[in-house]
Amino acid sequence: MNINVHHVTRVEGHGNIVVDTKNGEIKECRFEVVEAPRFFEAFVRGRPYYELSHITSRICGICSVGHATASLRATEKALGVEPSEQTVLLRKLNFHGEMIDSHVLHTYYLVAPDFLGVGSVIPLAATHRPVVERALKIKKLSGDLCALIGGRHTHPCAMAVGGFTHLPTEAELRDMRARFVDARTDMDETVALFATLPWPEFERETEYVSLKKDDEYAYIDGTVVTSDGFSYPIEDYRKVTNEECVSFSTAKWTHHNRDSYMVGALARLNNNFDQLHPRAMEAAAKLGLKPIVTNPFLNSAAQVVEMVHCIEDGIEIIDELLTRGVQPEEPPAVDLKAGEGAGSCDVPRGILFHNYVYDEGGRCVSANCIIPTNQNMANLNADMKELVPQIMDKPQDEIRLMLEMLVRAYDPCISCSAHFLTVEFV
């Protein structure tokens, strides 16, 4: 058997699945990232501190808020800037908007067609119109939230070092709150839909890596923890990522305590389950998720749980902002000094690190960005190697679909890791 999926579809970016077996033995089994490197770490060298979040936000059109937030945290730590409580709340809210936006896109547009027997969201609109209408409605809500807080849907222009250059009005927040409350019904229907999907049966335990905080389900800041019991301050992220180059991939691989680890919604759910909103926990129960979940296909189900969490937590954040009243704040003045800072956010696809060194004039001397898709590559390859022998007796088309679904379950954003994915049999 020789499967060669040249550019897997319904993922972001370009990657290939290559499987070659002979007499029941695997000769080759790997996922290749064939995107050209993007050189963002080189673009930012020499640029002033206030440009970094805007440049690096362009790494990704789906998680631009995530990149901007991690970037701002790295810069703030390097320059000793402390964001206000209001800024922290607004950033969380903006982040929730992007989390919902990205998860609805992945679960509805990219994953659901596999289970509902259609090739993409377009024929899905013909066969399951209410499903697609719901997806568009949730996507509009999350996009509007990002525009309200960040200044526009994608690539937030209002997020700055230390604060925001534009603030929402209380009336706008109240309007958004009403729409979030209304979205509860959409979330219930989303959970009900995904609870009916026949997720492939496949278990492979691995090490799950995410952020962790004492007081909340962590998305921004905290410590880096692993399900194998390790914990590191964000500054020590390299002890977790241990990047290495592999010959067939332009995305670097990472490993920690084992040969590979997993990041993303499933890793967060496994590590921080008790901090989910009670309604999100109910959703997890309906979807059959109880930590430790070791089926990587269920990463998409974990994303559904996180959507519920972000809607509920979003309502609570808006309530807190309204109770406090939106204060007219300007981003604080920055005292320039040489320094280094590492920022981390757990973005839709998993834990993300930005690390910058600045000179005394506030210009970037060096930068390191480690994105989630890279960190998942070794684990995805390990899953493929374990899955293929289990399904080798199935028809080739079924094997190919299963492998594509596995790749998609990781929600890889290859565009960010290097960029396109295709699958083809030879």
Partner 1 sequence: MSEWREANGESSDSPFAVLVIGLGNPLRGDDGVGPRVVQELHRRGLPEGVTALDVGTGGLDLLRVLEGRKHVVLVDAADVGREPGQFVRFRPDQARLVFAGDRLSLHHAGLGEVLALADALGRALPEMVIFGVQPAEVAWGEGLSPAVEATLPILIDAVLEEINSKQRATSDE
Cβ at position 223, least distance to partner 1 in Å:
33
Return all residues near 371 (Cβ < 8 A) that are at least 6 apart.
59, 60, 349, 352, 413, 416, 417
Q: Please work out, in degrees rounded to the nearest 5, the angle formed at the alpha carbon of residue 142 by the alpha carbons of 138 and 147.
A: 145
Cα 321 to Cα 91: distance, rounded to the nearest angstrom: 12
Interacting residue with partner 1 among 49, 108, 109, 208 (CB under 8 A): 109
Cβ at position 24, least distance to partner 1 in Å:
31
Touching partner 1, residues 131-160 (CB under 8 A): 132-133, 136, 140, 143, 147, 151-153
Burial of 324 (0-12, 13-18, 19+ CB in 10 A): exposed
Residue 208 lies near partner 1 (rule: CB under 8 A): no
Cβ at position 420, least distance to partner 1 in Å:
7
Q: Supply φ then ψ for residue 301, to 5 degrees.
A: -65, -40
Contact 285, 302 (CB under 8 A): no
**Amino acid code (one letter) for 411:** D
Q: How far is CA 154 from CA 110, 147, 183, 219, 419, in A?
A: 19, 8, 21, 18, 18
Interacting residue with partner 1 among 9, 21, 257, 294 (CB under 8 A): 9
State the pairing for strand pair 261-262/207-212: parallel
Neighbours of 24 (CB within 10 A): 9
Interacting residue with partner 1 among 80, 123, 233, 288 (CB under 8 A): 123
Determine the distance from the C-alpha atom of residue 25 to the mean position of all C-alpha atoms in its chain, rounded to a whole number. 35
Neighbours of 274 (CB within 10 A): 8
Query: Stretches 114-122, 237-245, 333-341, 374-382: which one binds partner 1 (CB under 8 A)?
Result: 114-122
Cβ at position 110, least distance to partner 1 in Å:
8
Query: Stretches 120-128, 197-205, 276-284, 384-392: which one binds partner 1 (CB under 8 A)?
Result: 120-128
Query: Stretches 4-12, 185-193, 198-206, 307-315: which one binds partner 1 (CB under 8 A)?
Result: 4-12
Residue 338 lies near partner 1 (rule: CB under 8 A): no
Which residue's CB is nearer to partner 1, number 159 or number 267?
A: 159
Cα 116 to Cα 221: distance, rounded to the nearest angstrom: 38
Both structure tokens of 362: 């506030």
Interacting residue with partner 1 among 68, 72, 281, 421 (CB under 8 A): 421
Query: Stretches 24-32, 179-187, 345-353, 414-422: which one binds partner 1 (CB under 8 A)?
Result: 414-422
Residues binding partner 1: what is the number (CB under 8 A)?
28
Query: Stretches 10-18, 258-266, 300-308, 334-342: which one binds partner 1 (CB under 8 A)?
Result: 10-18
Cα 280 to Cα 273: distance, rounded to the nearest angstrom: 9
Residue 114 lies near partner 1 (rule: CB under 8 A): no
Residue 66 lies near partner 1 (rule: CB under 8 A): no
Residue 120 lies near partner 1 (rule: CB under 8 A): yes
Cα 233 to Cα 207: distance, rounded to the nearest angstrom: 18
Task: Note the residues at the interface with partner 1 (CB under 8 A).
Answer: 9-13, 105, 109-110, 119-123, 125-126, 129, 132-133, 136, 140, 143, 147, 151-153, 415, 420-421
